[in-house]
Amino acid sequence: MSDLLSPFFGQRVEVQNDALLLGGAMLSLAVPWGVAVIAGTGSIVVALDVDKDGKVVQAARRGGHGYLLGDDGSAYDIGRCAIRAAVHAYDAGEETSGLADKIRAHFGVNETGELLGKVHALDLTVDPVTATNAQKLRISSLAREVLTAFAASPPDPLAVTAVEEAIAPLATSVVCVAKQMAARPLPDGSARSFANAALIMGGGVIRQDAYRSVFLKVCKDAGVEFGHLAVVDDVGGKGALGLVDRAKRARGAAT
């Protein structure tokens, strides 16, 4: 991709993961390192450093491998975990309502036992890629109902099971990457600490307060608590603002 785009710009163009744009928040916060996590339709965790030239660079990553191999804690994962929780409850003979009713309505079935057929069904009238994408969307679009039930007072038990199950591996990825980075010196040779690091969070799922509160608690319980937190709504805009803030500091240092 870099080779294809570079001639149009007259210089070498780097193609990066969009999670790198979350580094704009690091530049605005003026911290030397951090971990960026995106949890939306999919998910990814990346460790970011600010190098000696003030450029945000990716230092490590975990996840971002798509819904078959990853996307922990994403909308798809929340939907999948909710369906599984409902099916487990049904198999155990438990009486379920609330979120279970929403799940059955979402897939257009009357009994929870009918869910598996609907979840695995592919539309054979379209090409395989379109059919697979439609199947994935059916599951990921369920996340809105699950998160609403999770944030309710009191929260729906099935929603609690689903969200906590989805959060656990994503939080583990953040903890693993953070601890991995904490064992390394910063690019300037100085020691890292979580106090001088930022956790930058983007994506429609992790921007939900109830979800994020549990996510941060799981990280804290595992021994990782960042000195700075940032929730990013506009990823591209935050990337641009970070560059502006970096340029302002550079001009101030030069005068």
85 and 54 assigned to the same domain? no
52 and 85 assigned to the same domain? no
pTM equals 0.86
Q: Domain residues for 96?
A: 75-165
80 and 63 assigned to the same domain? no
105 and 37 assigned to the same domain? no
Query: What's residue 103's pLDDT?
Result: 94
Residue 18 pLDDT exceeds 70: no
102 and 125 assigned to the same domain? yes
160 and 213 assigned to the same domain? no
3-state secondary structure 41-108: CCEEEEEEEECCCCCEEEEEEEECCCCCCCCCCCHHHHHHHHHHHHHHHHHCCCCCCCHHHHHHHHHC
63 and 86 assigned to the same domain? no
pLDDT-derived band at 77 (thresholds 50, 70, 90) equals very high
pLDDT digits (tens, 9 = 90+) for 140-157: 999 999 999 999 999 999
Provide the residue count of the chain.
255
Q: How many domains does the chain have?
A: 2
208 and 231 assigned to the same domain? yes
209 and 141 assigned to the same domain? no
79 and 158 assigned to the same domain? yes
- Distance between CA atoms of 188 and 17, rounded to whole angstroms? 24
Residue 162 pLDDT exceeds 90: yes
pLDDT-derived band at 161 (thresholds 50, 70, 90) equals very high
Query: What's residue 226's pLDDT?
Result: 96
State the amino acid at position 67 in one-letter form.
Y
91 and 119 assigned to the same domain? yes
Question: Does residue 21 form part of some domain?
Answer: yes
Task: Using a pLDDT cut of 70, give the percent of the chain over it.
Answer: 87
- Distance between CA atoms of 7 and 190, rounded to whole angstroms? 39
Rounded to the nearest integer, the mean pLDDT of the chain is 88
Question: Does residue 23 form part of some domain?
Answer: yes
Question: Does residue 142 form part of some domain?
Answer: yes
- Distance between CA atoms of 46 and 58, rounded to whole angstroms? 7
pLDDT digits (tens, 9 = 90+) for 108-127: 999 888 898 888 988 889 99
Residue 237 pLDDT exceeds 80: no
Residue 54 pLDDT exceeds 70: yes
